[in-house]
Amino acid sequence: MNTDERLAHLGVHFPDILVPSKRVDPSKWAVIACDQHTANRDYWLETERIVGDAPSTLRLILPEVYLADGALEEKIAAVQATAEEYLDGDVFERVERSAVWVRRELADGSIRKGVVLAVDLERYDYRPEAKAPIRASEETIPERLPVRAQIRDGAALETPHVLVLLDDPAMSVIEPIESALTGEDPLYDVPLMQDGGRVTGYRIPVTSEIAASFAEALEGAAGGSEFVFATGDGNHSLAAAKSVWEARKAGGAPETDPFRYCLVEIVNVYDPGLPFYAIHRLVESDDPDEALHLLIRNVDGRFQGYPRETLARLLESNPLAPNEVALITRGQAGIIGLQNTRDLTVHVVESVLARGENLSVDYVHGTDEALRIAEERGACAVVLPDLDRTALFATIGEAGELPRKAFSLGEAQDKRYYFECRSLR
């Protein structure tokens, strides 16, 4: 098999990629993923100020902070019209049949490495019972798909914020590309707005020796397994792309339809620049201690009580063990050590909270933030341990998926910024 065929067998493809032309200011072109800062309208207002009238991926997306504002049809039409305008203008340079090796320097100085390419949606399935090579890592909520699908269905362009994870503890696939690129000029090298760090990209033509080595290494990492990739960020965007492709296919679209593919960035789950953080639960009800008592009564484990301030200080310096969950209300606090379970702690917590009546569950990043909001609202903070990245693929392979909001890949400013595009015409 040639490189194209070997890649196709693994569910990936080196497409024609579009990058901004030299007339475009790349620091204004690149903006953060649309599903970030959804509670911080000021972030997006500042992004608008920075971009001004310049060509930008801001005009190719619909930030989710604005979804509740109404006039959705007009906003989607504006995005789609801008995509047509950019394609017909002199905004892009075409990079034929290539992937892009990406080096992302985060604001804290850490480095994350990845490869931008297209995944074949015929090889992807987000249903937990599916055995596709490309699977969802977390529960997919059908109600979150229609707006994303509507934007994509009428779009002439796509730009990716999806991170797809590869299980490669030997670091044999993505990481060796860096040394092979020594001496090559970057395709782009861009400072990112609003504490995003910096991103540098290098072209990998499908006809190159680097591409052939990449395909061989990817085959080796897959090891013949039917499960090769798991979506990390952008679960719902990839699922929406799948739904659009299925509808087009049912309507008679050919196998060569560009909507069959979706542009993503592949990242090694073991990349040190890809931290895994817990997403904590904030539970509100008429009785602020209801969630705490519900978990204590229905979890097989030992509860160790602490004064609230003592536990808050303890969590600052001592991360929770994988089988521990901390519960903090205004009146009570403590840690449950789970026993006799092979399930992830987040699985156990979600299943118990689902039994509660009249509970409102919100999702919060950061322990300090969870405790602060819980104190303000008189709620219960359910503090979860960070996910063990080494267990991710095994858990998905066995359980099908994790609960929604099971983990976060880095902080908000570390998420993918839009840069590369692909024509859907």
Annotate 6-61 with DSSP letters as a single string.
Answer: HHHHTTEE---EEEE-TTS-HHHH--B-TTS-TT-HHHHHHHHHHHTTS--GGGGS
Indicate the DSSP class of residue 358.
Answer: S
Task: From residue 424, give the alpha-carbon distance in Å to each of 87, 97, 134, 289, 421.
Answer: 10, 15, 21, 52, 10
Per-residue pLDDT of the chain (425 residues; tens, 9 = 90+): 899 999 999 999 999 999 999 999 999 999 999 988 887 899 999 999 999 999 999 999 999 999 889 899 999 999 999 999 999 999 999 999 999 999 999 999 999 999 999 999 999 999 988 889 999 998 888 888 998 999 999 899 999 999 999 999 999 999 999 999 999 999 999 999 999 999 999 999 999 999 999 999 999 999 989 899 999 999 999 999 999 999 999 999 999 999 999 999 999 999 999 999 999 999 999 888 899 999 999 999 999 999 999 999 999 989 999 999 999 998 899 999 999 888 889 989 999 999 988 899 988 888 988 998 899 989 999 999 998 899 899 888 887 788 888 888 988 899 999 999 999 99
Q: Please state at what angle helix 146-153 crosses helix 72-88, rounded to 10 degrees.
A: 30
Which of helix, strand or coil describes residue 404? coil
Task: From residue 403, give the alpha-carbon distance in Å to each of 21, 228, 356.
Answer: 41, 20, 17
107: tokens are 């604001």
Are 65 and 38 in contact by the 8 Å Cβ rule? The answer is yes
β-pair type (17-20, 12-13): unpaired
Write down the pTM of the prediction.
Answer: 0.91
38: tokens are 């959804």
Q: Could you tell me which residues come within 8 angstroms of residue 319 by beta carbon, excluding any fewer than 6 positions away? A: 385, 386
Q: Where are the domains of the chain?
A: 3-274+411-423, 279-385
Q: What is the largest CA-CA distance in the chain?
A: 66
Which of helix, strand or coil describes residue 258? helix
Phi and psi for 213 in degrees, rounded to 5? -65, -40
Displacement of CA 70 from its chain's centroid (Å): 26
Which of helix, strand or coil describes residue 264? strand
Spatial separation of the C-alpha atoms in residues 321 and 337, rounded to whole Å = 8
Residue 358 Rama label (left phi>0; alpha psi -120 to 50; beta): left
Place of tokens 């985060």: 106
